[in-house]
Amino acid sequence: MELQETLEEGYVEILDHLRKRSLWMLHYCTACGAIELPPTITSRFDAERFGIAPFVTSRQSDILLVTGYINIKTLRRLITVYEQMLPPKYVIGFGSCTINGGIYWDSYAIVKRLDLYLPVDVYIAGCMPTPMAVLEGFRTLMKLIDEGKANGWKKYQENYEYYKENQRKVLKW
């Protein structure tokens, strides 16, 4: 039994080392921050040398990038898109509006904390973050995957009732 467990853990570790160099990002431009994504992906601040490329469907991507403020109408669709992705999957919060509401703190249509509704692995601060800050955020995510600490999707499965209760309260489902 012990030998089998050690072999399984070693198998997962090797997969993590390989997986971190081929993460595909879902191309869903949620809000403001999407204007700094084309410079990051194209030839000047090339993100493809790390293996990160944009892809169109949610069923075949690994990273959900929430770029900017979160409106209530968008949050309903974001949760559906997140549940369509297959594990292992990672969420990156982009910009200071996902951390504590940002400049729209007194608006009646903007949600202030993203991590009550979806499990977030990495936050990138700034308004807007420059492309170099975005690349630094991607590298932090790659380091966390390497050490086995990027477990947002496991937290979502274990605390499913907690997340669903928060979503029901604010979205009136």
Partner 1 sequence: MIREYELNIGPNHPGIHGNFQVHLKLEGDTIVEAKGNSGYLHRAFEKLMEQRTYLQNLALIPRVCVPEPDINEAAYAMAIEELMGVEIPERAKFIRTIVLEAARSMALLFHFGGTAAMIGNYTVNYWAVADRDLMVDIFLKLTGARVYHMYIWPGGVRRDTYPGFEDDVLGWVKYMKERLPEYDNLFFKNPMFMHRARGLAKISKEEALQMGVTGPNLKATGVKVDVRLDEPYAAYPYLDFDVPVLDDGDAWAREIQRRLEFELSLNLIEQAVKKMPKGEVWKKMPNPFKWVIPEGEAYARVESSRGEYGYYFVSDGTDKPYRVAIRGVSMPHMYPLAEKLLIGQKLSDAPFILETLDICPPEIDR
Partner 2 sequence: MVEEIKRVVIGEVVEKRPQRVIVKVEKENFASTLNALKALSFNRLNLLTAIDFIKENQFEIVALVYSDEKKVMSIVKARIPRDNPEIETLIHIYPNAFKYEVELGEMFGIRVIGNPDSMKPFVLEGWGDLPPLRKDFDSIKYATEHYESRNVEVKYD
Q: Is 77 in the site for partner 1 (CB under 8 A)?
A: yes
Helix (H) or strand (E) holding 122: strand 122-124
Q: Which of residues 93-112 bind partner 2 (CB under 8 A)?
A: 99-101, 105-112
Interface stretch with partner 1, choices 12-20, 69-77, 147-155, 156-164 (CB under 8 A)? 69-77
Closest approach, Cβ 71 to partner 1, in A, equals 6
CA distance 157 to 63: 17
Residue 163 contacts residue 83 (beta carbons within 8 Å): no
Residue selected from 20, 23, 25, 36 as contacting partner 1 according to rule CB under 8 A: 36
Residue 58 CA: distances (Å) to CA of 6, 9, 45, 61, 162 = 33, 28, 25, 6, 24
Interface stretch with partner 1, choices 4-12, 72-80, 139-147, 158-166 (CB under 8 A)? 72-80
Give the total residue count for the chain.
173
The residues binding partner 1 (CB under 8 A) are: 26-32, 34-36, 38-39, 42-44, 54, 56, 58, 69, 71, 73-74, 77, 81, 103-104, 106-110, 127-128, 130
